[in-house]
Amino acid sequence: MRYFGKIIAVLMVVAASGALALAQTGHSTSLKFDKVVHNFGKILAGSGEKKCQFKYTNVSSEPVVINNILSSCGCSVPEWNKAPIRPGESGVITVTFLNDQGAYPFDKTLTVYVSSSPKPIQLRITGVAYDKEKPMSEMYPAHFGALGMKAEKQNAGQIEQGLAKALKENIVNISKKKVTVSFADVDPAMKISVSPSVIGPGESATVSYTINTAIGKKRWGRNLYKASILCDGKKADKPFVAEAVVVTPYTSLSKEQMQKAPQVFLDKSSLSFGSAGYYSKIPVKVKISNPGKSDLRIYKVETGGVKMDIHCPALIKAGGSGILTGTIKPNKTGEDIVFVITLITNSPERPLVTIFVSGTVWPER
C-alpha cells in the first residue's frame, strides 16, 4: 500500500482536470475563443519550439481576468495577459510546445480559469512529432478499412444536457486508391459529414460531427455515439465512435440559480479496503449529504466497467442525506488496485462526483 497515497493523488488530479474541468466550449462563457484546438500537424522531433495562439474576446458586460492556465504537460507553456479584459476587448493566449520529448503523437490540454466563469475552459494542442517520415498507416494507427484515424474512439469531452457540441477530427486514406467516404446508421443525436468526401491515396479529410443532447431520450454520464463508415458504399469493419460525458446544465445559470442549487458532500471520497481475495466482494459505504437549497438528483452511477452492485438514492432532499452502499467484484489482482465510482448529479458545482476505493487484491489460493 506504499503507493496508495500517490495513486489517489494522481487520480484525484485527473478527475479534477479531466472529468470536472472539461471544456464548455460553445456554451455560455465570458470569453469567446476563435478556436479551442490547434493542430500543428506533422513536425520534426527536435526541430525546436513551436508556437500557436488562441484568440479570445470578452463577450460579457463586465471586466474579466484570466486567473490561471494549467497545462497537462510541462512541454506546453502558456503565456497570457494578467490584466483585466474589458467588455469587447480581445487578447491572445500564446502556447509554446517545447517539442523535446521525441517522436510521438501528442494531445495536450490547457485548462483556462476565468474569473467570471463557474467552470474552466479547455484548450488543446495536437500534432505528430516524428524522427523520419512514416507510413500513413503508422501515423494513424486506428484503421477503418481503407481509412485511418488517430484513435478508434473520439473524445467529445463534456456536454451539458440539452445543448449541442460540434467537433472535428482528421481521417486519412491509407490505401493506394481513391476512396469515396460517407456514413450510415448514424445515431439520432449525432450529425456527421466528411470533406472532401473523395479522398485520394495518402490524402486526408476532415470529419465534422455534432452531438445534440436535446434529441431523443436523455442520456447521462458517459455515452457512445456511433455511425457506420462507408468506403465506396461498403461498411468498414468498425464504426466511427465518439464518447461524450453528458452532465447537468450549469454555465448558463444565474447567480441566484447557483445559490439555490443542490450541493454534494461526501463523508469520504476515498476508501481503503486493506486486502481482499479475488473472489471476494468488497463492501462500499458512503454518506451523501445535500446542504444545498433544492433537491439533489443522482441520475446515474458509473463503475468504469467493473462489476459492482451499488445502491444509491436517486433523490436527496435539500438539507438531507442518504447512504450509498454496495459491493465490488474485483476484476484484477495486485497491490494498490483502485476502483472508481462516479456519480452523475444535478449539482452545478459538482456534476460529476468521484469515489475511489483502493486496496490489495490477492489471487485465490
Least confident of 27-31, 192-196, 357-361: 27-31
* Amino acid 365: pLDDT: 66
Q: Answer yes or no: is pLDDT of 196 > 50.
A: yes
Q: Answer yes or no: is pLDDT of 5 > 70.
A: no
Q: Give the three-state DSSP class for 112.
A: strand
Strand partners, 154: 242
Mean pLDDT of 48-61: 93
DSSP state string for 170-235: EEEE-SSS-EEEEEES--TTEEEEEESSEE-TT-EEEEEEEEETTSSS---EEEEEEEEEEETTEE
Mean pLDDT of 29-36: 89
Mean pLDDT of 157-176: 94
Q: Cα–Cα distance between 125 and 97 in angstroms, integer?
A: 8
Domains and CATH numbers, the chain: 1-127 (2.60.40.10), 134-252 (2.60.40.10), 254-362 (2.60.40.10)
Q: Answer yes or no: is pLDDT of 177 > 60.
A: yes
Helix (H) or strand (E) holding 310: strand 308-311
Tell me what the pLDDT averaged over the chain comes to: 89
Q: Answer yes or no: is pLDDT of 321 > 70.
A: yes
Q: Cα–Cα distance between 110 and 92 in angstroms, integer?
A: 14
Q: Answer yes or no: is pLDDT of 22 > 50.
A: no
Mean pLDDT of 170-177: 93
Q: Cα–Cα distance between 224 and 152 in angstroms, integer?
A: 12
Least confident of 124-138, 162-176, 258-272: 124-138
Is the CB of residue 286 less than 8 Å from the CB of residue 310?
Answer: no
Q: Answer yes or no: is pLDDT of 319 > 90.
A: yes
* Amino acid 101: pLDDT: 82
Least confident of 98-112, 150-164, 211-225: 98-112
Distance of CA 362 to the CA centre of its chain: 32
pLDDT digits (tens, 9 = 90+) for 198-231: 999 989 999 999 999 999 999 999 999 999 999 9
* Amino acid 30: pLDDT: 86
* Amino acid 73: pLDDT: 85
Mean pLDDT of 165-186: 95
pLDDT digits (tens, 9 = 90+) for 268-302: 999 999 999 999 999 999 999 999 999 999 999 99
Q: Cα–Cα distance between 154 and 229 in angstroms, integer?
A: 14
Q: Answer yes or no: is pLDDT of 350 > 60.
A: yes
Number of H helices, E strands in the chain: 3, 28
Of the two residues 29 and 300, the one the predictor is more confident about is 300
Of the two residues 13 and 197, the one the predictor is more confident about is 197
The C-alpha cell that represents 193 in the structure block: 459529414
Mean pLDDT of 183-189: 98
Query: At CB < 8 A and 24+ separation, what contacts does 303-311 make?
Result: 303/328, 303/339, 303/340, 303/341, 303/342, 304/339, 304/340, 304/342, 305/331, 306/330, 306/331, 306/339, 307/331, 308/284, 308/339, 308/341, 309/281, 310/284, 310/341
Q: Answer yes or no: is pLDDT of 133 > 80.
A: no
* Amino acid 27: pLDDT: 39
Q: Answer yes or no: is pLDDT of 45 > 90.
A: no
Going by C-alpha positions, the residue among 300, 301, 298, 295 that lies closest to residue 339 is 301
Cell numbers 459491493 correspond to what residue?
Answer: 327
